Structure 1
Amino acid sequence: NVILNLYQEGYDNNLRPEFGGPPTTIEVNMQVRSMGPISELDMSYSMDSYFRQTWIDRRLSFTGFQGALALSNEMLQKIWKPDTFVYNGIKAYVHTITKPNRFVRLFADGRVLYSQRLTISATCLMDLKDFPMDKQMCPLQLGSFGYGIEDIKYEWSKENGVNIAADMKLSQFDLISTLTGNSTTKLNDGLHSTLLVHFHLHRHMGDFVIQVYGPCILLVVISWVSFWLNREATSDRISLGITTVLTMTFLGLEARKDLPKVPYPTALDYFVFISFLYIFFTVIQFGIVHHFTKYGSGEIYSDEFDLVENTAFMQELTTLEENNSAHQNKHLENILSVPDTKGNFKQEQPRRKIRKNCDYKRCHLQVNPLNSVSKIDRISRGMFPISYCLMNIFYWKIYLEM
């Protein structure tokens, strides 16, 4: 205390060292202990670090003592300190448990080491066009708030300006590299010396494969089951198509809920939209198949017979229902008439045994029970999977090579 009191006689902590002379050089060193969360929604990131600043204040030099003096927090208020702040910072605070986490070391030549533990939240403007296979550059810009370039000059420490703790791991990203540099920034109508550090981040996409990409692919494959259902199974194919469409819609909305409403589509949006189109076209494909379904492949309506007043045909159907003899079946085959596409009747040659099942409005005529398969279904069984596989190869080749 005697030494410190002696050297602080006439000391003015409102004036920087070498006031009126060359600018004071501030050397900065950072050790990043942890990083995260990194929020796409807020375009921000947080990190916990040890932030160290070193400068020379010859007014505090002393003799007669080897080593460094550790100053208390009370003495910290009595010496001059640079007003360093984070240009792109949102908020920052010094840890205070159990005491404020900061200290000052004073060396004999007047060198001051000021270290503090800071948690910093800063903005990080992200380009999400390649999300979730994107790489981001999150900056941190440091400088003086009040002193211009003629008063304070910032430099990164020559040993290691920014170092990362060996045990640091990020949940969402891999930290690829840390790039440091110096710059001059205009602030308050003056030029200020600033320091820059860019954290180069590469996103993990394992979570998106499990929650989005995998389910999307499975939904598309499930929608193709309808190609193997016969075209008379109208309710089954429609139900399957509507279910997969609704599930895909929900999955696409869920994937976007944690992203900002950016004005451009992301890589994930492209994949979800293309998968949705495949499911949608599966439903449209069945509509086309159903439209081109022909007579004899499933159903004939009794109203169609009333239009041509085929009384003999209806009488024979009634007789067949009462008596199922082989002779009457053969007689029915001989007189059975079926309307052709022009509304005329033609005699069917007795080839196979005909079975009848009638309800209130509809008569099902089956000749050796038939499940018809559309040519469109046969083509779709190969065309849809092949085109979807080619799309996936093209998609992953583009984005994974970026």
Structure 2
Amino acid sequence: VKLGIRINSFYSISESTMDYMVSFNLQQQWRDKRLQFNPNETKFKMLKLGEGTWLRIWIPDTFFRNEKKANFHDVTVANRMLQLNSTGYLLYVTKISATFSCQMKLQYYPLDTQFCPITIESFGYTTDDMYFQWMDGKAEKVIDLGENKILPQFTIERFIRRDCSQNYTAGTYPCLEVRFVLRRDIGFFLIQVYVPSILIVILSWVSFWINIESSPARVSIGLLTVLTTTTMSAGARASLPRVSYIKAIDVWMICCLIFVFASLIEYAVVNVMSRKKIKSNVIEKVSG
């Protein structure tokens, strides 16, 4: 059975649930010698079979191993096509919208690149009865991305095809997988996270130029920058799962928090040292 995929839309990539949604046309091609016919008798070399014909003939029992939820399209008619040529080759095309799981590694978030797969496997036939292969032709035609290479936060750089056949208790089942390489765009985080956090750190340095006797001003700036940095850090992690490892954005926000916290501590240290110096001067004057 030869397989091909044409992507219609690629959307809703979620880090919190680690999945993504895609609408695509699944193309399957195989030969059934029982259905071959003489083209001279029908005057047609290719026949388009009517709706529901796929229920009366053998079709591959393909399913998606990493699928969470999927459905066929029936507006305005069933979005399926079945063609038969005189030699018994059938082309079966179905339009599917599905949610696939994508185990993301977020150590470098938001400077990360993710590999999100679509895994197609046979449910009941082993490799002794059936095997999968990609359709003939260039890889770009077998797996057609259309105009969906740019997404709101990601860019589809390329895709990787591989054989994912696995050996189960009942035997080895045929499987093909395509992995989409998704590179995250940094523009959103540059505007919403990095630039504001840099400005907040610079704002915390303003207290160095304020008179040491102006305690309310210096304390207010220090507390304001610390609280703002903490709030930004929580907001940046709001859409992420509660993973146990440290991410790149965590390192950035921790460094910013250390800078603004250090500027507040600096005022406390300088204030204590200033009071000690004043006290020592007073003692010297009294003793003198």
TM range (shorter): over 0.9
Aligned counterpart in structure 2 of residue 106 of structure 1, from 84, 87, 90:
84
1:236 paired residue number:
217
Quick one: percent identity of the two aligned structures?
A: 32
1:90 paired residue number:
68
CA contact (8 A) 1:33 1:47 kept: yes
1:53 paired residue number:
28
Per the TM alignment, residue 81 of structure 1 is displaced from its structure 2 partner at its CA by 0.6
Alignment TM-score, normalising by the size of structure 2: 0.93
2:245 paired residue number:
264
State the SS of the aligned residue for 2:75.
coil
State the SS of the aligned residue for 1:341.
helix
Distance 1:295 1:269, change over 3 A: closer
CA contact (8 A) 1:162 1:180 kept: no
Aligned counterpart in structure 2 of residue 191 of structure 1, from 153, 165, 172:
172
Aligned residue type for 2:286: N
Residue 58 of structure 2 corresponds to residue 116 of structure 1: no
1:93, 1:31 → 2: CA distance?
A: 16
CA contact (8 A) 2:27 2:94 kept: yes
2:120 paired residue number:
142
1:41 paired residue number:
16
1:181, 1:82 → 2: CA distance?
A: 20
Aligned counterpart in structure 1 of residue 104 of structure 2, from 79, 104, 126:
126
5+ residue gaps, structure 2, are none
> CA-to-partner distance for each residue in 1:310-352, whole Å, 9 max, x for gaps?
xxxxxxxxxxxxxxxxxxxxxxxxxxxx973258254xxxxxx
Aligned counterpart in structure 2 of residue 179 of structure 1, from 160, 163, 172:
160
> CA-to-partner distance for each residue in 1:81-126, whole Å, 9 max, x for gaps?
1110001111111111111110100111111110011112111111
> Which deviates the most, 188-197 or 123-132?
188-197
Residue 143 of structure 2 corresponds to residue 165 of structure 1: no
Aligned residue type for 1:146: G
> CA-to-partner distance for each residue in 1:226-273, whole Å, 9 max, x for gaps?
000011111110011011111111111011000001111111110001
CA contact (8 A) 1:161 1:180 kept: no
Q: Structure 2 matches for 1:69-80, cutoff 5 A? A: 69-80=47-58
2:148, 2:240 → 1: CA distance?
A: 29
Distance 1:188 1:70, change over 3 A: farther
Q: What is the aligned-residue RMSD (CA, Å)? A: 1.8
State the SS of the aligned residue for 2:220.
helix
Aligned residue type for 1:54: Q
1:276 paired residue number:
257
Per the TM alignment, residue 221 of structure 1 is displaced from its structure 2 partner at its CA by 0.3
Distance 1:339 1:281, change over 3 A: closer
- Which protein has greater RCO, CA pairs closer than 8 Å, 6+ apart? 2
Distance 1:168 1:344, change over 3 A: closer
1:216, 1:295 → 2: CA distance?
A: 35
Aligned residue type for 1:219: I
State the SS of the aligned residue for 1:80.
coil
CA contact (8 A) 2:70 2:98 kept: yes
1:81, 1:180 → 2: CA distance?
A: 23
1:306 paired residue number:
none
1:57, 1:275 → 2: CA distance?
A: 66
Aligned length: 282
CA contact (8 A) 1:132 1:205 kept: yes
Structure ID, larger Rg: 1
> CA-to-partner distance for each residue in 1:124-150, whole Å, 9 max, x for gaps?
111100000100111111111011111
> CA-to-partner distance for each residue in 1:205-233, whole Å, 9 max, x for gaps?
11111111111101000000000001111
Aligned residue type for 2:5: M
CA contact (8 A) 2:7 2:148 kept: no
5+ residue gaps, structure 1, are 1-25, 301-337, 347-402
2:218, 2:247 → 1: CA distance?
A: 32
CA contact (8 A) 1:34 1:168 kept: no
Aligned residue type for 1:95: H
Per the TM alignment, residue 196 of structure 1 is displaced from its structure 2 partner at its CA by 1.1
1:341, 1:185 → 2: CA distance?
A: 85
CA contact (8 A) 2:149 2:157 kept: no
State the SS of the aligned residue for 1:293.
helix
1:180, 1:76 → 2: CA distance?
A: 28
> Which deviates the most, 136-145 or 188-197?
188-197
2:103, 2:240 → 1: CA distance?
A: 13
2:46, 2:276 → 1: CA distance?
A: 100
Distance 1:55 1:241, change over 3 A: same
Aligned residue type for 1:191: T
Q: Structure 2 matches for 1:356-371, cutoff 5 A? A: none
Aligned residue type for 2:110: P
Residue 283 of structure 2 corresponds to residue 341 of structure 1: yes
1:80, 1:221 → 2: CA distance?
A: 69
Residue 181 of structure 2 corresponds to residue 200 of structure 1: yes
Residue 254 of structure 2 corresponds to residue 254 of structure 1: no
